């Protein structure tokens, strides 16, 4: 299977980011990241293992995929979505500038995920409201369940 120009470009940037951090994007890590980039939706480790076997012709056990996903997440190349316990490739891999904390719109129907930026002020307001209620934010990312336009049209 040939990689699209977009996938190839993202993987090239990912390799450079890893190299700059002194870590290695091994062949198996690259295959998992390629699967996330090509899928264009959130995948569980089991779905990703199946995807790699079918689409990329690479056999990876789910436990290996979990370890690789942990590495990709710690390296800033992937994100774990707590709502669905699935993973997506970071949409900012190819960027060379700083970004806001990740915010995700997650389609409840088709699992499409869009990483969006929200104003820092919104996070500050949420942090203050949380403290006022006697809580402390565990993470500054937001995951919002919604319906993408395609699925919303079907739901209507």
Tell me the pLDDT tens digit for each residue of 118-144: 888 888 899 999 999 999 988 878 899
Q: Can you give the C-alpha Rg of the chain in angstroms? A: 17
pTM metric for this prediction: 0.83
Determine the 3-state secondary structure of 120 from DSSP: helix
Give the mean pLDDT of the chain. 88
- In the predicted structure, residue 69 carries a pLDDT above the cut 90: yes
- Outline which parts of the chain fall under CATH 3.30.1490.190: 100-156
Q: Rounded CA gap, 99 and 110, in Å?
A: 27
CATH (residue range 100-156)? 3.30.1490.190
Q: Where are the alpha helices (DSSP H) in 22-148?
A: 27-39, 45-54, 62-74, 120-132
Give the fold, CATH level 3, of 1-92: Arc Repressor Mutant, subunit A (1.10.10)
- Outline which parts of the chain fall under CATH 1.10.10.10: 1-92
- Render pLDDT for 84-112 as a digit per residue (tens, 0 to 9): 899 999 988 887 766 677 889 998 888 88
pLDDT reported for residue 3: 67
Q: How far is CA 145 from CA 44, 87, 97, in A?
A: 17, 15, 28
Chain-centre distance of CA 34, in angstroms?
12
pLDDT reported for residue 133: 97
State both tokens at 136.
């402390």
For a pLDDT cut of 90, what percent of the chain falls above it? 53
pLDDT reported for residue 94: 84
- In the predicted structure, residue 1 carries a pLDDT above the cut 60: no
């Amino acid at each position: 299977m040939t990689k699209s120009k977009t996938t190839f470009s993202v993987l090239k940037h990912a390799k450079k980011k890893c190299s700059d951090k002194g870590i290695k994007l091994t062949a198996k890590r690259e295959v998992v990241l390629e699967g996330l980039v090509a899928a264009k939706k959130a995948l569980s480790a089991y779905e990703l293992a199946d995807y790699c076997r079918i689409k990329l012709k690479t056999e990876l056990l789910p436990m290996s995929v979990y370890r690789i996903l942990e590495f990709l997440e710690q390296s800033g190349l992937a994100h774990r979505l707590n709502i669905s316990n699935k993973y997506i490739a970071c949409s900012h891999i190819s960027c060379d500038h700083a970004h806001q904390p990740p915010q995700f719109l997650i389609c409840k129907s088709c699992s499409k995920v869009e990483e969006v930026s929200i104003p820092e002020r919104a996070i500050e307001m949420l942090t203050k409201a949380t403290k006022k209620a006697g809580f402390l934010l565990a993470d500054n990312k937001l995951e919002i369940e919604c319906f993408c336009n395609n699925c919303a049209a079907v739901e209507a």
